[in-house]
Amino acid sequence: MNLLRKLLGQTRARFADTNEASVTLEFSLESLEESLLLADAGTQATKTLIEAVERRVPRRRTHDPDAIRDAFRSAALDLLSHIQKPFTLGAAEPTVILMVGVNGVGKTTSIAKLAHRFQAQGKSVMLAAGDTFRAAASEQLQSWGEALGVPVVRQQAGADSAAVIYDAIESARARGTHVLIADTAGRQHVKNNLMQELAKVKRIASRHYTQAPHHVLQVIDAGTGQNALRQIETFDKEIGVTGLVLSKLDGSAKGGMVFSIAAQHPLPLQFIGIGEQVDALHVFDAGDFVDALLAGDE
């Protein structure tokens, strides 16, 4: 939790009095509401949390910072419990994971981090370079594959993404690979034709391998803030997202968006990225997240 506290520094500062030489957390209902909005929790989640705090704090203690802090922690954990769900590979071999998201969210790096995580669990991994449109995407994934020592299935630039992923599924099944992680082209959620193409990739996968993809993980950039909700809504509607990966959390002051996700589109937040290193991907834990936000600099 100490590492998470450090890496959430920018968001945590929204909950602090930055006029002080050291970070001193202040808790009143007014300052808490302002802090949540500044951290990009959004109006709906902020309203939900403030009302929950008011219900938990006895009237005689409405100006007691400790009582408000404790009530906020309880209310935050209740809200975030809706999006905390363990990620499991299941019995399928290979388990097919389709990675989706808009351009620039850190999807390829998140794929590498996931591959490293599964390797550490003793699983064999294969990658599929399904982003055939961005010139350097396939090469970038190939570089990660070489660094991690995992095979990468790829075709020439401009190839049909669904065909690449189909070939990768067949190869992973033939090799007895435990996990296949398939990249897809980053696409803007407002481009209907691109979203339809992504739906086609999913259909082709399921047609040739029962229940594939077993997971559809959407990567969202923590710096996106409230716009991430629109992205989640669109991707989920078009292809059925099973879980979220929140990237670049260490570089954003908008970590409060986690509360907004829980309040408005509560898909499981399964991993958070808080660093550039290949091992800097962590399972989302609501208790650790809230405690890291509330911790002072010790």
pLDDT band, residue 18 (cuts 50/70/90): very low
Which of 132-146, 181-195, 277-291 has the lowest average pLDDT? 181-195
- pLDDT for position 65: 85
Residue spans of the domains in the chain: they are 2-80, 95-285
Q: Which fold has domain 95-285?
A: Rossmann fold (3.40.50)
Q: What was the pLDDT predicted at 167?
A: 94
Please state the pTM of the whole predicted model. 0.89
- Mean pLDDT on 49-75: 89
Look at residue 16 and tell me whether its pLDDT is greater than 70. Answer: no
The pLDDT of residue 293 is 82
pLDDT reported for residue 150? 97
> What is the per-residue pLDDT for 43?
94
Identify whether the C-beta of residue 178 lies closer than 8 Å to the C-beta of residue 150.
no
Q: Let me know if domain 2-80 sits in CATH 1.10.357.
A: no
Q: What is the pLDDT of residue 25?
A: 43
Residues 252 and 10 sit within 8 Å (Cβ to Cβ): yes
Interval 226-269: pLDDT, tens: 889 999 999 999 899 999 999 988 777 678 899 999 999 999 99
Model pLDDT, residue 148: 97
Q: Pick 5 or 233 by higher pLDDT.
A: 233
Burial (CB < 10 A; 0-12, 13-18, 19+), residue 20, is exposed
Question: pLDDT exceeding 70 applies to what percent of the chain?
Answer: 87
Q: What average pLDDT does the chain have?
A: 85
Q: Which residues are within 8 A (CB) of 33 and not within 5 positions of it... i.e. 6 or more apart?
A: 46, 50
Asked, colleague to colleague, whether 2-80 and 95-285 share their fold, the answer is no
Interval 157-190: pLDDT, tens:
778 888 999 999 999 999 999 999 999 987 665 5
Residues 6+ apart with CB under 8 A from 94: 126, 169, 172, 173, 177, 178, 179, 180
Q: What is the pLDDT of residue 23?
A: 33
So what's the pLDDT on residue 26? Answer: 54
Q: Which of 1-10, 195-204, 228-237 has the weakest average pLDDT?
A: 1-10
Q: What is the pLDDT of residues 19-28, one digit of tens each?
A: 333 333 456 8
| Residue 7 pLDDT level (bands cut at 50, 70, 90) | low
More confident residue, 55 or 225: 55
Distance CA(129)–CA(142), nearest Å, equals 8
pLDDT of 204 strictly over 70: yes
pLDDT of residue 124: 97
Q: Pick 248 or 193 by higher pLDDT.
A: 248
Q: Could you give the CA distance from residue 24 to residue 257 in angstroms, rounded to a whole number?
A: 22
Greatest C-alpha distance within the chain = 69
